[in-house]
């Protein structure tokens, strides 16, 4: 072919040849288009005219319903609501094929009118569109949470762990608050160099409120505006538009979460008193930043807390719940800690490879009650075909994590908390590492994965080393059964308490200095 390119070659050909080539190309294109248009969508439950499956999807624990439907329709299933297609995946093989191998077209996020546009969460890293903004955000996160930064981050985590252990010793009945304080103090320490003394801290209360409001708004079917976006233009006074008053308050929370912690660090940097943090580094290293760069920095620094805090709390809640319900697991874990490290010794991250049962226990935490029963949705950007099924461009792609992690063919006795299942998983081919389903997929894998895993590891090992966890007793001394029904977009159980008692008479001397 000449250097002038294919068009020059076409010009040199006789007209009949050009017409023949164009005819062949047009025919092949026609075949491709008609083939796509005649391909069937993946199977799924029959819906009603126009509204599709909208009324069949329950507002609570929809993943359980999806799992039941998948028993009939298979690992890839089609749903619709007012013509908007959703593809639900509940097979690891299909998830891997589409979201990993074909990640170039499966890495976008659907625009959810309520959360992304109206509440203002669209630019936050977990839910932003796939493109240059997303790439820049991940670059910032990769630098902030790189291996070279982890030594300092782990030192912070150990300091907060010492305070957590002291809180559990002195005030064990307030376990619920201690769990949240522990993760909030690490998250805000990493992101903004901000010291959190209690959950009454105004920035923590703001972040907690933002997480709650987002989770309420993100539940499928919670707001009709996600199905009919034109409703956002209905006047506030119009009958049925009361949700818009709630929206105004929620949008204010989002804006404050983005701006108030960032402004705090800007002031500290100006005074020369800023503690090391992701935000301080961004400000100090970019003194001539543009307005767009500062906007990016505000959203990315806030994403560390908004994306990681509530999810990690969920995992730690699962740990305490499991230890109450499965005391024999707790005894085995404590025996390993005492044998490998010595009674009352606190593990560090270098010990993980020696603590095989502890590692299995943490795997089971991620599987038993998955933090995100339904993964953050993806969006396919162009038409695709899988096993003869048409996946239309723009479709929302949902992974039912809960269904995968409770598939008895993959995880026998899926509703039991059994760390032992991972100890011989290589020999059986069953019970794969559940972390591959816990932290997102493809190019949307959580960039804070190491931070979250490190926080769970140190909380689990230090608590088990020094304390016994058991059910609360009633007035007659009988154990009270906790409600272990986890629910929500980010999964949590109803608020619960546990008995947390020292394993040794001199525990206070075993707690490392903060």
From first to last of the 514 residues of the chain, give the pLDDT tens digit: 434 444 344 445 555 544 454 444 443 443 344 444 568 999 999 999 888 998 898 888 999 999 999 999 999 999 998 788 999 999 999 999 999 999 999 999 998 899 999 999 999 999 999 999 999 999 999 999 888 899 999 999 999 999 999 999 999 999 999 999 999 999 999 999 999 999 999 999 999 899 889 988 987 778 889 888 999 999 988 888 889 999 999 999 999 999 999 999 999 999 999 999 999 999 999 999 999 999 999 999 999 887 778 899 999 999 999 999 999 999 999 999 999 999 999 999 999 999 999 999 999 999 999 999 999 999 999 999 999 999 999 999 999 999 999 999 999 999 999 999 999 867 778 999 999 999 999 999 999 999 999 999 999 999 999 999 999 999 999 999 999 999 988 999 999 999 999 999 999 999 998 7
Q: What are phi and psi of 220, to 5 degrees?
A: -55, 130
Q: What are phi and psi of 378, to 5 degrees?
A: -105, 170
Between CA 70 and CA 89 the distance in angstroms is 9
DSSP sequence for 346-367: PP-GGGGGG-HHHHHHHHHHHH
pLDDT at 12: 54
Q: Which helix (H) or strand (E) holds 77?
A: strand 76-81
Determine the angle formed by the axes of helices 327-341 and 449-466, rounding to 10 degrees.
90
For residue 404, give both structure tokens: 């995968």
Between CA 63 and CA 77 the distance in angstroms is 13
Between CA 191 and CA 211 the distance in angstroms is 16
Fold of 39-510: Cytochrome p450 (1.10.630)
pLDDT at 5: 43
Other CB atoms within 10 Å distance of the CB of residue 214:
24
Total number of residues shown for the chain: 514
Other CB atoms within 10 Å distance of the CB of residue 188:
23
Contact of 126 with 427, CB cutoff 8 Å: no
pLDDT at 290: 96
Distance of CA 151 to the CA centre of its chain: 24
Other CB atoms within 10 Å distance of the CB of residue 386:
16
pLDDT at 310: 86
Contact of 133 with 123, CB cutoff 8 Å: yes
């Amino acid at each position: 072919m000449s250097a002038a390119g294919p068009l020059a070659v076409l010009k040199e050909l006789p007209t009949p040849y050009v017409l023949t080539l164009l005819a062949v190309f047009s025919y092949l294109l026609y075949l491709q288009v008609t083939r796509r248009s005649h391909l069937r969508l993946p199977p799924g439950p029959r819906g009603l005219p126009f509204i599709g499956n909208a009324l069949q999807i329950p507002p609570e624990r929809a993943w359980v319903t999806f799992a039941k439907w998948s028993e009939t329709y298979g690992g890839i299933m089609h749903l619709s609501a007012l013509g908007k297609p959703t593809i639900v995946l509940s097979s690891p093989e299909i998830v891997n094929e589409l979201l990993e191998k074909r990640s170039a077209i499966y890495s976008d996020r659907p625009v959810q009118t309520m959360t992304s546009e109206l509440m203002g969460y669209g630019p936050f890293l977990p839910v932003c569109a796939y493109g240059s903004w997303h790439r820049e955000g991940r670059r910032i996160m990769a630098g902030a949470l790189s291996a070279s930064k982890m030594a300092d981050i782990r030192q912070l985590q150990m300091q907060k762990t010492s305070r957590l252990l002291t809180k559990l010793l002195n005030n064990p009945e307030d376990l619920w608050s201690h769990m949240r304080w522990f993760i909030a103090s690490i998250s805000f320490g990493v992101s903004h160099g901000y010291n959190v003394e209690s959950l009454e801290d105004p920035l923590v209360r703001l972040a907690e409120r933002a997480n709650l409001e987002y989770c309420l708004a993100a539940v499928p079917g919670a707001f009709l505006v996600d199905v009919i976006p034109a409703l956002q233009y209905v006047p506030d006074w119009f009958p049925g538009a009361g949700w818009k008053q709630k929206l105004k308050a929620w949008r204010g929370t989002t804006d404050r979460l983005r701006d108030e912690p960032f402004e705090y660090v800007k002031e500290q940097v100006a005074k020369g008193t800023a503690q090391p943090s992701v935000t301080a580094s961004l400000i100090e290293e970019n003194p001539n930043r543009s307005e767009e760069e500062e906007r990016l920095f505000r959203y990315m620094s806030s994403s560390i807390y908004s994306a990681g805090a509530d999810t990690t709390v969920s995992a730690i809640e699962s740990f305490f719940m499991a230890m109450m319900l499965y005391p024999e697991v707790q005894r085995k874990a404590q025996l390993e800690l005492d044998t490998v490290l010595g009674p009352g010794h606190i593990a560090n991250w270098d010990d993980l490879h020696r603590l095989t049962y502890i590692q299995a226990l943490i795997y089971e935490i991620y599987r038993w009650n998955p933090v995100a029963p339904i993964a953050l949705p993806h969006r396919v950007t162009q038409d695709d075909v899988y096993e003869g099924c048409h996946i239309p461009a723009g479709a929302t792609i949902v992974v039912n994590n809960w269904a995968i992690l409770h598939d008895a063919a993959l995880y026998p006795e899926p509703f039991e908390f059994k760390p032992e299942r991972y100890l011989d998983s290589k020999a059986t081919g069953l019970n794969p590492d559940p972390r591959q389903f816990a932290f997102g997929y493809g190019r949307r894998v959580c960039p804070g994965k190491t931070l979250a895993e490190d926080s769970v590891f140190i909380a689990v090992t230090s608590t088990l080393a020094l304390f016994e966890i058991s059910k609360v007793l009633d007035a007659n001394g009988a154990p009270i059964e906790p409600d272990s029904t986890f629910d929500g977009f980010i999964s949590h159980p109803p608020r619960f308490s546990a008995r947390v008692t020292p394993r040794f008479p001199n525990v206070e001397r075993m707690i490392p200095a903060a």
